[in-house]
């Protein structure tokens, strides 16, 4: 078993160490072979001097190919010429598995890199993005645990739509039609009557028929639902949660590689809140043709969010732009809902609302929208047996990661992006 990682060696200067990893770079210069070794924690330069090693080791270092797996022994020394300021003066170099010619070369095209995603995942950039993804989830879990939210595990195979029929993936369920979950929300709502404050982190599925830079067919969805909270209360939870997730990333050592500063990851709460009406005015003032009642598409969100430096809320959307389960405001036109948008063109990361807790109002809304109530009998039951003010939201992990890492495309926020044209590898 491997016990020492590349990141550990900064504490081992002057000592003889043994490392296992993969060859990231290799070149020979004046009787010395330089290999850059890679593992999950980083890279380090290994220098293999002809006179310091036995002929086998030198021969191995000379013939080793990129991405071969190797075992290296040597002394850790400080050397400012090495990429990380440290170098291993090699005493033994063993090839564990000699790699065939690695298909990924410098300057490879985007589509090709997706075709060989199983190999492209070894890139330092993708490795770091995956670590940051892990950090934001850790930040969320710490916050949720500290504030007494219960984790639950809702089903992925479902019988009814949560977010409308157009983006449903249907599956054959023993001869009946079932769907992959678009959102755990309706099930989370059932769980608040026992656990009060619940959350789940599950994949959600959307058959997004248009190709965009921020839509996946499968994404990681962090959803919270709480009894006794109204629209305003849940916005506070949203901003605290996102702040906790960002704070966890703020200490990440290579953040600047993504064009982010530590300070940007410390959010100033409360976040700004603007009404939908105001947002419409801003968008219209930029010359975009949008009417009151429309939801924002990519272009609208882009111009709107370019006006902001930090994530911000847009609240009280028109009913026709949103979904039947939201609590209707007394104006009869808008819902008590809010989206959290990331600044500078990134757009929506959270969709949330207070939920309609009145049976009659909910049924009326479903009738207006032409929704088959018989499919939601169990959901309507919640309004019959001890209905309660409650609210919740869903956060797209890859959307948040996209903003944090300044990603141009959401595909790099996941191991294997599932999009309209891509199912493999
Ligand atoms: O706004 P959405 O559709 O809201 C819901 O699903 C609610 N039922 C959630 C809830 O209240 N429990 O989706 C929530 C978030 C969006 O804000 C976005 O971040 C992300 O999920 N999202 C997607 N991320 C990647 N690819 C897609 N196709 C996404 N669709 C939504
Ligand atoms: Mg939404």
Q: Is 216 in the pocket of ligand 1 (CB under 6 A)?
A: yes
Ligand nearest to the CA of 395: 1
Q: Are 397 and 136 in contact (CB under 8 A)?
A: yes
**Interval 253-304: pLDDT, tens:** 999 999 999 999 999 999 999 999 999 999 999 999 999 999 998 899 999 9
Q: Which of 97, 125, 155 is the last residue of a domain?
A: 97
> Which CATH number do you get for residue 44?
2.40.50.140
Instruction: Tell me, yes or no, whether 153 and 274 share the same domain.
Output: yes
CA distance 232 to 214: 27
Q: Is 218 in the pocket of ligand 1 (CB under 6 A)?
A: no
Instruction: Tell me, yes or no, whether 151 and 25 share the same domain.
Output: no
Instruction: Dump the DSSP string for 87-111.
Output: EEEEEEEEEEEPPPPPS--TT--HH
Nearest atom (ligand 1) to Cα of 399: 19
Range of the domain at 263: 115-413
CA distance readout (Å), 305 to 195, 336, 347: 36, 21, 6
How many domains does one find in the chain? 2
Nearest atom (ligand 1) to Cα of 325: 8
At residue 328, what are phi and psi to the nearest 5 degrees? Answer: -80, 135
Structure confidence at residue 209 (pLDDT): 87
**Interval 228-262: pLDDT, tens:** 999 999 999 999 999 999 999 999 999 999 999 99
Instruction: Tell me, yes or no, whether 258 and 143 share the same domain.
Output: yes
Choose one of 180, 349, 351 to mutate for the ligand 1 pocket test, by most ligand atoms within 8 angstroms of C-beta.
351
Nearest atom (ligand 1) to Cα of 182: 6
What is the mean pLDDT of the segment spanning 364-390?
Answer: 96
What is the mean pLDDT of the segment spanning 131-145?
Answer: 98
What is the mean pLDDT of the segment spanning 86-114?
Answer: 97
Q: Is 242 in the pocket of ligand 1 (CB under 6 A)?
A: no
Residue 424 lies in a domain: no
Closest CA to 396 of 265, 139, 220: 220
Which residue puts its alpha carbon closest to atom 9 of ligand 1? Answer: 394
Q: Are 204 and 182 in contact (CB under 8 A)?
A: yes
Instruction: Tell me, yes or no, whether 305 and 402 share the same domain.
Output: yes
Residue 1 lies in a domain: no
In this prediction the pTM is 0.96
Q: Is 219 in the pocket of ligand 1 (CB under 6 A)?
A: yes
Instruction: Tell me, yes or no, whether 123 and 81 share the same domain.
Output: no
Nearest atom (ligand 1) to Cα of 339: 17
pLDDT confidence of 305, banded at 50, 70, 90?
very high
Q: Is 355 in the pocket of ligand 1 (CB under 6 A)?
A: no
How many angstroms separate the alpha carbon of residue 395 from the centre of ligand 1? 6
């Amino acid at each position: 078993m491997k016990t020492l990682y590349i990141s550990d060696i900064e504490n081992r200067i002057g000592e003889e160490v043994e490392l296992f990893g993969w060859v990231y770079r290799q070149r020979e210069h004046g009787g010395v072979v330089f290999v850059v070794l890679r593992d999950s924690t980083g890279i380090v330069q290994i220098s293999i001097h002809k006179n310091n090693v036995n002929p086998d080791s030198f021969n191995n270092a000379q013939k080793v190919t990129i991405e071969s797996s190797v075992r290296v022994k040597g002394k850790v020394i400080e050397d400012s010429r090495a990429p990380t300021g440290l170098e291993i003066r090699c005493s033994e170099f063993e090839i564990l598995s000699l790699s065939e010619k690695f298909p990924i070369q410098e300057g490879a095209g985007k589509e090709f890199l997706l075709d060989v995603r199983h190999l492209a995942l070894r890139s330092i950039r993708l490795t770091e993005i995956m670590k940051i993804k892990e950090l934001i989830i850790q930040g969320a879990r710490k916050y949720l645990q500290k504030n007494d939210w219960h984790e639950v595990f809702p089903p992925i195979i479902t019988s009814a739509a949560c977010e409308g029929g157009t983006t449903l993936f249907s599956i054959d369920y023993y001869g009946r039609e079932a769907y992959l979950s678009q959102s755990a929300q309706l099930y989370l709502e059932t769980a608040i009557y026992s656990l009060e404050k619940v959350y789940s982190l599950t994949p959600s599925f959307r058959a997004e028929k248009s190709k965009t830079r921020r839509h996946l067919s499968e994404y990681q969805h962090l959803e919270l639902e709480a009894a006794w909270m109204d629209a305003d209360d849940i916005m506070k939870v949203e901003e605290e949660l996102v702040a906790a997730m960002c704070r966890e990333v703020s200490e990440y050592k290579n953040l600047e590689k993504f064009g982010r500063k530590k300070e940007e990851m410390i959010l100033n709460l409360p976040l700004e809140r603007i009404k939908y009406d105001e947002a419409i005015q801003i968008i219209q003032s930029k010359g975009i043709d949008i009417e009151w009642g429309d939801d924002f598409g990519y272009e609208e969100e882009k111009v709107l969010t370019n006006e902001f430096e930090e994530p911000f809320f847009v609240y009280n959307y028109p009913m026709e732009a949103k979904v039947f389960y939201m609590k209707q405001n007394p104006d009869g036109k808008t819902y008590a809902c809010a989206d959290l948008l990331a600044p500078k063109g990134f757009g929506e990361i959270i969709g949330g609302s207070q939920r309609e807790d009145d049976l009659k109002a909910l049924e009326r809304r479903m009738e207006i929208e032409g929704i088959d109530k018989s499919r939601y009998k169990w959901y309507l039951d919640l309004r019959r047996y001890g209905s309660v003010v409650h609210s919740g939201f869903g956060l797209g992990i890859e959307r948040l990661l996209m903003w944090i890492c300044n990603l141009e495309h959401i595909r790099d926020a996941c191991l294997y992006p599932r999009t309209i044209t891509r199912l493999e590898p």
